[in-house]
Every structure is written in C-alpha cells, then in structure tokens.
Amino acid sequence: MVRKLIAGNWKMNGLKADLETIRQVSAHVNSGETAPETLLCVPATLLSAAAETARGTALAVGGQTCSKLEKGAFTGDISAPMLAEAGATYVIVGHSERRTGHGETDAEVAGQAAAALKSGLTPIICVGETLAEREAGATLRIIESQLRGSLEGLETAGSFVIAYEPLWAIGTGKVATTGQIAEVHGFIRAFLAGRYGAPGNAVRILYGGSLNPSNAPEILPVPNVDGGLIGGASLKAADFLSIYETARALQV
C-alpha cells in the first residue's frame, strides 16, 4: 500500500505565533510505515523557524511555490535552493491560486517541478478543473492536458506527488462527491501508469478542496486517494490532526 501523505497548505497565513500549531502537530505525529507522512507548507518567511520547531519529529515542512530558475534579478521570487536551505523538503507547484492569480502555465509549472527536484525537494504538482469546465463535460480532458504539460520533462515517477483540486471546491466548502473524486483519481492513475509503467502506481495522488475532519472519513478511503492537500483545516492543529488520525486508521 502507498504511504498516505497528509499535507497542509497555509497559503498567506501564519506569523511567528502560529509556530505553536507546528509544535502541536509535530508533537503528535508519528514516523514509521503505518503512519501517514505529514507535511505543512508554510509561508516562506516561517520556513526556517517551522523546520527548527519540527526538527527531529515526523512532520516535514514545505514551500508553496518556487521559481523555475536558481537565482537572478527576479524581485520577490523565491528559488528551490532557497527553500531547501531553509529546511523545506517539499514544495507545492501549480496551485490554482498561482495558475489563475499569477498566470502560471503548465510549462512554467513543469520548470518549477524540475527545479524543485534538482534541489532535492519533492514537488506536489496541482491540477484541477473550473466549474465551467466540469459543467461542459471537459474535466478529464483538462486534467489530461494539465498533466501532460506539467509533467513535461519529468522522466521518472517516484519523485513527485500529484494533487487533484477542483477549483470550485477550494475554499468554498463545496466538496467533490466520492464518485467525482474516484473518477478523476482513477483517470490520473491510469495516465501515470501509462506514462511511467509500474512506478506510476506508486505516485501519490492527493485530493484537495474543502477537505475537513467531517468529510475526511468519506473521502480518504476512495480508491487512488493517497492523502489530502488541506488549506483552511490545516490552520488549526486539532483539525489537521483529526484528518491525520482518519488517514492513520486507514493505513493499517
């Protein structure tokens, strides 16, 4: 069985006082094959302190995006080596809030994923359809084209994670049905197996979009759901840990 990954995305939330959440989560989570892996992707300003707080525990910390370039005159951008040096082991790339708010294309996302891998970070590559695309019956076509574009140049499986996040479910309280999730995750699995062969079956595919302690028991057991990418509910230790416990019960 693939080891599940319970990942939080704090987005633009978190000041030093919130390191207390890191402390509470890291004090609770376990390492070992029967426990899900846990990760909190915090703002870049908190990375070093979060990594320090979580040091020696099973909690990993990660960044929320990175440049495809290593360094240079790119005001405000942050490179993968910078994240790695600050203590990140993962980085989210291609989140829909970056794709829509910052015009990031599939090609850009593929470059970011490659840069992450080069710095020893595991990229979590996000894909997802808008409501209009779903209503037009275009969901699988959109997901396939995002996968093709965002995985361009990534020749081996095993070094990255995919997150399926329907845009209409992010931060809205609307959750995809288990049938919709099963369909898209099954489609992504078949795509990965077709492209990478057997190692494609071991790539973790996370669901994201209004995942919370109440719906996690329904969503996490869906076939090919190997964990979650959690926004709002990752900001409170109790909520994040409740989702972690749900995943842990499924792992054994």
Which residues are the active-site residues? 95, 165
Q: Is residue 139 near ligand PGA by the rule CB under 6 A?
A: no
Nearer to ligand PGA, 110 or 216 (CB): 216
Structure tokens at 224: 């090919």
> Is residue 157 within the footprint of ligand PGA (CB under 6 A)?
no
3-state secondary structure of 112: helix
Nearer to ligand PGA, 168 or 196 (CB): 168
- 104 lies in the binding site for ligand PGA (CB under 6 A): no
- DSSP states of 182-250: HHHHHHHHHHHHHHHSGGGGGS-EEEESS--TTTHHHHTTSTT--EEEESGGGSSHHHHHHHHHHHHHH
70 near 38, Cβ under 8 Å? no
User: Counting contacts by CB under 6 A, is residue 188 touching ligand PGA?
Assistant: no
90: number of Cβ within 10 Å: 24
Among 67, 122, 232, 244, binds ligand PGA (CB under 6 A): 232
Shortest distance in whole angstroms from residue 165 CB to ligand PGA: 6
Nearer to ligand PGA, 35 or 206 (CB): 206
**Sign of the C-alpha dihedral computed for residues 198, 216, 38 and 164 taken in this order:** positive
Q: Does 208 bind ligand PGA (CB under 6 A)?
A: yes
The count of other CB atoms within 10 Å of the CB of residue 245 is: 17
210 scored as a contact of ligand PGA (CB under 6 A)? yes
**Residue with Cβ nearer ligand PGA (81 or 113):** 113
Among 4, 5, 6, 9, binds ligand PGA (CB under 6 A): 9
Query: Under the criterion CB under 6 A, does residue 165 sit at the interface with ligand PGA?
Result: yes
**Per rule CB under 6 A, is residue 229 in the interface with ligand PGA?**
yes
3-state secondary structure of 44: helix
**Burial class, 25, CB count within 10 angstroms (exposed 0-12 / middle 13-18 / buried 19+):** buried
Q: Which of residues 168-187 bind ligand PGA (CB under 6 A)?
A: 170-171
- Smallest CA-to-CA distance from 189 within 176, 204, 175 is with 204
Does residue number 246 form part of the binding site for ligand PGA (CB under 6 A)?
Answer: no
Give residues in contact with ligand PGA (CB under 6 A).
9, 165, 170-171, 208-211, 229-233
